[in-house]
Amino acid sequence: MTALDLPRQQWRTSTRSVGNGNCVEVATVGRGVAIRDSKDRHGPVLTFESSAWCAFVASVHTV
């Protein structure tokens, strides 16, 4: 899937992003989450089920 397949999604970056372009952007897609590279907004998109995304975020916050 590419970002072009998700034209109406509202993409957002982390509030902790420093604005240097080395970020990922996240969008809600149905019951899941889509992620793309902020430097390649028309490139590939990874999608995850909500439960997998929540588990990932929880593991990052504990590090």
Q: What is the side-by-side order of every strand in the sheet holding 12-13? A: 12-13, 24-29, 32-37, 45-49
Which residue matches tokens 């372009």? 21
Q: Residue 55 — very low, low, confident or very high, per pLDDT cuts 50/70/90? A: very high
- pLDDT for 8 equals 75
The structural domains of the chain, with segments of one domain joined by +, span 3-61
Q: What is the token pair recorded at 60? A: 């990052």
pLDDT in tens, 16-45: 777 676 788 899 888 889 998 888 888 889
Q: What is the pTM of this model?
A: 0.74
Find residue 15's DSSP bridge partners. Answer: none
Sign of CA dihedral 24, 41, 48, 51: positive
Distance, CA of 61 to CA of 39 (rounded, Å): 24
